[in-house]
Amino acid sequence: MSTYNTQDGTQIYYKDWGKGKPVLFSHGWPLDADMWDSQLNFLAENGYRVIAFDRRGFGRSEQPWEGYNYDTFASDINDLINHLDLQDVTLVGFSMGGGDVSRYVGRYGSARVRGLVLLGAVTPAFGQASGFAGGVDGSVFDGIRDGLRKDRAQFISDFATPFYGLNAGQTVSEGVLAQTLNIALLASLKGTIDCVTAFETTDFRGDLAKVDVPTLVIHGDNDQVVPFETTGKLAAQQIKGAALKVYENAPHGFAVTHQDRLNQDLLAFLQTL
Protein backbone atom coordinates (compact mmCIF):
# COMPACT_ATOMS: atom_id res chain seq x y z
CA MET A 1 0.00 0.00 0.00
CA SER A 2 1.05 3.62 -0.54
CA THR A 3 1.73 5.25 2.81
CA TYR A 4 3.67 8.14 4.33
CA ASN A 5 4.61 9.09 7.87
CA THR A 6 3.39 12.29 9.49
CA GLN A 7 5.35 14.61 11.76
CA ASP A 8 4.38 12.55 14.81
CA GLY A 9 5.17 9.25 13.12
CA THR A 10 1.62 8.19 12.24
CA GLN A 11 1.43 6.13 9.06
CA ILE A 12 -1.21 7.41 6.63
CA TYR A 13 -2.58 5.49 3.65
CA TYR A 14 -3.29 7.23 0.35
CA LYS A 15 -4.36 6.54 -3.23
CA ASP A 16 -2.59 8.23 -6.13
CA TRP A 17 -4.22 7.64 -9.51
CA GLY A 18 -3.77 9.12 -12.97
CA LYS A 19 -1.53 11.78 -14.44
CA GLY A 20 -1.94 15.52 -14.90
CA LYS A 21 -2.68 18.45 -12.63
CA PRO A 22 -3.06 17.16 -9.05
CA VAL A 23 -6.31 17.13 -7.09
CA LEU A 24 -6.20 16.15 -3.41
CA PHE A 25 -9.36 14.93 -1.65
CA SER A 26 -10.11 14.97 2.10
CA HIS A 27 -13.00 12.73 3.14
CA GLY A 28 -15.88 13.18 5.53
CA TRP A 29 -16.73 11.59 8.86
CA PRO A 30 -16.87 8.65 9.54
CA LEU A 31 -15.66 7.54 6.11
CA ASP A 32 -12.31 7.12 4.35
CA ALA A 33 -10.78 7.69 0.92
CA ASP A 34 -13.07 5.10 -0.67
CA MET A 35 -15.96 7.58 -0.54
CA TRP A 36 -14.23 9.37 -3.41
CA ASP A 37 -13.80 6.43 -5.80
CA SER A 38 -16.34 7.69 -8.35
CA GLN A 39 -14.79 11.18 -8.40
CA LEU A 40 -11.24 9.82 -8.46
CA ASN A 41 -11.90 7.43 -11.33
CA PHE A 42 -13.84 10.02 -13.35
CA LEU A 43 -11.23 12.75 -13.01
CA ALA A 44 -8.31 10.38 -13.62
CA GLU A 45 -10.02 9.27 -16.83
CA ASN A 46 -10.27 12.95 -17.77
CA GLY A 47 -6.60 13.73 -17.42
CA TYR A 48 -6.04 14.58 -13.76
CA ARG A 49 -3.83 13.13 -11.06
CA VAL A 50 -6.06 12.39 -8.08
CA ILE A 51 -4.94 11.70 -4.52
CA ALA A 52 -7.10 10.69 -1.57
CA PHE A 53 -5.96 9.65 1.89
CA ASP A 54 -7.49 7.96 4.92
CA ARG A 55 -7.48 10.43 7.81
CA ARG A 56 -5.48 9.28 10.83
CA GLY A 57 -7.56 6.80 12.80
CA PHE A 58 -9.72 5.87 9.81
CA GLY A 59 -9.61 3.28 7.04
CA ARG A 60 -6.17 1.84 6.41
CA SER A 61 -4.24 4.50 8.30
CA GLU A 62 -2.79 3.97 11.76
CA GLN A 63 -4.92 4.59 14.82
CA PRO A 64 -3.02 6.78 17.28
CA TRP A 65 -4.66 7.59 20.60
CA GLU A 66 -4.21 11.34 20.13
CA GLY A 67 -4.03 13.94 17.36
CA TYR A 68 -7.68 14.24 16.34
CA ASN A 69 -7.75 18.00 15.96
CA TYR A 70 -7.70 20.30 12.96
CA ASP A 71 -4.19 21.64 13.42
CA THR A 72 -2.93 18.06 13.26
CA PHE A 73 -5.18 17.17 10.32
CA ALA A 74 -3.82 20.17 8.40
CA SER A 75 -0.29 19.15 9.30
CA ASP A 76 -0.98 15.65 7.97
CA ILE A 77 -2.13 17.14 4.66
CA ASN A 78 0.96 19.33 4.55
CA ASP A 79 3.11 16.24 5.08
CA LEU A 80 1.37 14.45 2.19
CA ILE A 81 1.76 17.44 -0.13
CA ASN A 82 5.45 17.61 0.73
CA HIS A 83 5.87 13.83 0.47
CA LEU A 84 4.51 13.88 -3.10
CA ASP A 85 5.97 17.34 -3.83
CA LEU A 86 2.63 18.52 -5.18
CA GLN A 87 2.49 21.89 -6.92
CA ASP A 88 -0.61 23.76 -8.13
CA VAL A 89 -2.82 21.28 -6.32
CA THR A 90 -6.57 21.71 -6.04
CA LEU A 91 -7.85 20.80 -2.56
CA VAL A 92 -11.29 19.20 -2.25
CA GLY A 93 -12.85 18.68 1.17
CA PHE A 94 -16.18 17.10 2.05
CA SER A 95 -17.92 17.75 5.37
CA MET A 96 -15.27 17.61 8.12
CA GLY A 97 -12.69 17.35 5.32
CA GLY A 98 -13.66 20.86 4.26
CA GLY A 99 -12.27 21.96 7.59
CA ASP A 100 -9.03 20.06 6.94
CA VAL A 101 -8.31 21.81 3.66
CA SER A 102 -9.41 25.22 4.95
CA ARG A 103 -7.15 24.92 7.98
CA TYR A 104 -4.32 23.83 5.66
CA VAL A 105 -4.63 27.10 3.71
CA GLY A 106 -4.99 29.06 6.95
CA ARG A 107 -1.79 27.59 8.41
CA TYR A 108 0.41 26.90 5.40
CA GLY A 109 -0.80 29.37 2.78
CA SER A 110 -1.57 28.82 -0.87
CA ALA A 111 1.89 28.71 -2.45
CA ARG A 112 1.24 25.13 -3.59
CA VAL A 113 -2.54 25.51 -4.04
CA ARG A 114 -4.31 26.29 -7.29
CA GLY A 115 -7.93 25.98 -6.19
CA LEU A 116 -10.23 25.00 -3.33
CA VAL A 117 -13.52 23.07 -3.32
CA LEU A 118 -15.76 22.81 -0.24
CA LEU A 119 -18.49 20.17 -0.45
CA GLY A 120 -21.11 20.09 2.29
CA ALA A 121 -18.33 21.46 4.48
CA VAL A 122 -18.36 22.32 8.19
CA THR A 123 -16.95 25.77 7.45
CA PRO A 124 -17.06 28.52 8.68
CA ALA A 125 -18.27 26.75 11.87
CA PHE A 126 -20.46 23.75 12.61
CA GLY A 127 -21.16 24.06 16.31
CA GLN A 128 -21.84 27.20 18.30
CA ALA A 129 -18.84 29.51 18.54
CA SER A 130 -18.20 32.98 19.91
CA GLY A 131 -20.10 35.40 17.72
CA PHE A 132 -21.64 32.47 15.84
CA ALA A 133 -24.78 31.57 17.73
CA GLY A 134 -26.40 29.99 14.68
CA GLY A 135 -24.31 26.84 14.91
CA VAL A 136 -25.73 23.43 15.75
CA ASP A 137 -26.54 23.06 19.46
CA GLY A 138 -24.06 21.18 21.61
CA SER A 139 -26.70 18.65 22.66
CA VAL A 140 -26.67 17.24 19.12
CA PHE A 141 -22.98 16.45 19.34
CA ASP A 142 -23.43 15.02 22.84
CA GLY A 143 -26.02 12.67 21.38
CA ILE A 144 -23.65 11.55 18.64
CA ARG A 145 -20.86 10.79 21.10
CA ASP A 146 -23.27 8.92 23.40
CA GLY A 147 -24.62 6.90 20.48
CA LEU A 148 -21.15 5.93 19.34
CA ARG A 149 -20.13 4.78 22.81
CA LYS A 150 -23.32 2.78 23.34
CA ASP A 151 -23.63 1.01 19.96
CA ARG A 152 -21.50 2.44 17.18
CA ALA A 153 -22.64 -0.07 14.56
CA GLN A 154 -26.34 0.71 15.04
CA PHE A 155 -25.73 4.43 15.37
CA ILE A 156 -23.88 4.57 12.04
CA SER A 157 -26.50 2.36 10.40
CA ASP A 158 -29.25 4.75 11.54
CA PHE A 159 -27.16 7.80 10.60
CA ALA A 160 -27.35 6.77 6.94
CA THR A 161 -30.98 7.91 6.78
CA PRO A 162 -30.36 11.65 7.30
CA PHE A 163 -26.90 11.42 5.70
CA TYR A 164 -28.31 10.22 2.37
CA GLY A 165 -31.72 11.86 2.72
CA LEU A 166 -33.56 8.55 2.69
CA ASN A 167 -36.34 10.28 4.65
CA ALA A 168 -36.56 13.06 2.06
CA GLY A 169 -37.06 11.25 -1.23
CA GLN A 170 -33.49 10.17 -1.99
CA THR A 171 -32.53 6.57 -2.68
CA VAL A 172 -29.25 4.70 -2.51
CA SER A 173 -28.52 1.02 -3.03
CA GLU A 174 -28.20 -1.59 -0.32
CA GLY A 175 -24.59 -1.89 -1.45
CA VAL A 176 -23.91 1.75 -0.65
CA LEU A 177 -25.45 1.36 2.80
CA ALA A 178 -23.37 -1.75 3.47
CA GLN A 179 -20.20 -0.05 2.25
CA THR A 180 -20.86 3.03 4.38
CA LEU A 181 -21.22 0.93 7.51
CA ASN A 182 -18.21 -1.23 6.67
CA ILE A 183 -16.00 1.81 6.12
CA ALA A 184 -17.13 3.46 9.34
CA LEU A 185 -16.45 0.35 11.40
CA LEU A 186 -12.86 0.19 10.18
CA ALA A 187 -12.12 3.38 12.09
CA SER A 188 -10.81 3.81 15.61
CA LEU A 189 -13.68 4.33 18.03
CA LYS A 190 -11.56 6.89 19.89
CA GLY A 191 -10.81 8.76 16.66
CA THR A 192 -14.45 8.62 15.58
CA ILE A 193 -15.56 10.15 18.88
CA ASP A 194 -12.77 12.71 19.07
CA CYS A 195 -13.50 13.95 15.55
CA VAL A 196 -17.03 14.83 16.65
CA THR A 197 -15.53 17.17 19.23
CA ALA A 198 -13.12 18.54 16.64
CA PHE A 199 -15.79 19.55 14.16
CA GLU A 200 -18.12 20.74 16.91
CA THR A 201 -15.63 23.16 18.45
CA THR A 202 -13.38 24.40 15.64
CA ASP A 203 -13.93 27.88 14.21
CA PHE A 204 -12.66 28.23 10.63
CA ARG A 205 -13.55 31.89 10.04
CA GLY A 206 -9.92 32.96 10.34
CA ASP A 207 -8.88 30.29 7.84
CA LEU A 208 -11.49 31.31 5.27
CA ALA A 209 -10.29 34.90 5.52
CA LYS A 210 -6.89 33.74 4.23
CA VAL A 211 -8.21 31.88 1.17
CA ASP A 212 -6.88 33.64 -1.92
CA VAL A 213 -7.38 31.03 -4.63
CA PRO A 214 -10.42 30.29 -6.84
CA THR A 215 -12.99 28.52 -4.68
CA LEU A 216 -16.09 26.47 -5.42
CA VAL A 217 -18.64 25.78 -2.68
CA ILE A 218 -21.29 23.09 -3.26
CA HIS A 219 -23.98 22.26 -0.72
CA GLY A 220 -27.35 20.57 -0.67
CA ASP A 221 -30.20 22.78 0.50
CA ASN A 222 -31.78 19.81 2.29
CA ASP A 223 -28.65 18.83 4.20
CA GLN A 224 -29.90 17.39 7.50
CA VAL A 225 -26.39 16.94 8.90
CA VAL A 226 -24.50 20.16 8.09
CA PRO A 227 -27.14 22.87 7.63
CA PHE A 228 -26.62 24.91 4.47
CA GLU A 229 -27.77 28.25 5.90
CA THR A 230 -25.06 28.34 8.59
CA THR A 231 -22.24 26.65 6.67
CA GLY A 232 -22.06 26.52 2.87
CA LYS A 233 -24.04 29.71 2.36
CA LEU A 234 -21.88 31.67 4.79
CA ALA A 235 -18.60 30.12 3.61
CA ALA A 236 -19.31 31.25 0.06
CA GLN A 237 -19.99 34.76 1.36
CA GLN A 238 -16.82 34.88 3.44
CA ILE A 239 -14.39 33.65 0.77
CA LYS A 240 -13.65 36.43 -1.68
CA GLY A 241 -14.85 35.57 -5.19
CA ALA A 242 -16.14 32.11 -4.26
CA ALA A 243 -18.66 30.45 -6.56
CA LEU A 244 -21.64 28.76 -4.92
CA LYS A 245 -23.67 25.89 -6.34
CA VAL A 246 -26.72 24.76 -4.40
CA TYR A 247 -28.11 21.32 -5.17
CA GLU A 248 -31.89 21.41 -4.77
CA ASN A 249 -33.21 18.94 -2.17
CA ALA A 250 -29.78 17.31 -2.02
CA PRO A 251 -28.75 15.61 1.25
CA HIS A 252 -25.39 15.65 2.95
CA GLY A 253 -24.19 12.60 1.06
CA PHE A 254 -24.65 14.11 -2.39
CA ALA A 255 -21.37 12.64 -3.61
CA VAL A 256 -23.47 9.48 -3.96
CA THR A 257 -27.00 10.75 -4.61
CA HIS A 258 -25.81 13.38 -7.10
CA GLN A 259 -22.68 11.58 -8.26
CA ASP A 260 -22.79 12.44 -11.96
CA ARG A 261 -23.68 16.10 -11.38
CA LEU A 262 -20.87 16.48 -8.88
CA ASN A 263 -18.35 14.83 -11.19
CA GLN A 264 -19.25 17.20 -14.01
CA ASP A 265 -19.17 20.26 -11.74
CA LEU A 266 -15.74 19.30 -10.40
CA LEU A 267 -14.39 18.77 -13.91
CA ALA A 268 -15.81 22.08 -15.10
CA PHE A 269 -14.23 23.94 -12.18
CA LEU A 270 -10.85 22.26 -12.66
CA GLN A 271 -10.89 23.22 -16.33
CA THR A 272 -11.09 26.90 -15.37
CA LEU A 273 -7.90 26.78 -13.28
Domain span at residue 201 reads 3-270
121: nearest Cα among 229, 246, 28, 251: 28
Instruction: Round to the nearest angstrom and report the end-to-end CA distance of the chain.
Output: 31
Beta strand 243-247 with 215-220 is parallel
Provide the residue type at 44 as one letter. A
C-alpha 38: how far from chain center: 15
CATH of the domain at 52: 3.40.50.1820
> What does pTM read for this prediction?
0.98
Could you list the active site residues? 95, 223, 252
Please give the Cα distance from 170 to 44 (Å, whole number). Answer: 28
- Cis check: omega of the bond before 251, within 30 degrees of 0: no
Phi and psi torsions of 58, nearest 5°:
-125, 155
The three-class DSSP label of residue 180 is helix
pLDDT in tens, the chain (273 residues): 899 999 999 999 999 999 999 999 999 999 999 999 999 999 999 999 999 999 999 999 999 999 999 999 999 999 999 999 999 999 999 999 999 999 999 999 999 999 999 999 999 999 998 888 889 999 999 999 999 999 999 999 999 999 999 999 999 999 999 999 999 999 999 999 999 999 999 999 999 999 999 999 999 999 999 999 999 999 999 999 999 999 999 999 999 999 999 999 999 999 999
What's the total number of domains in the chain? Answer: 1
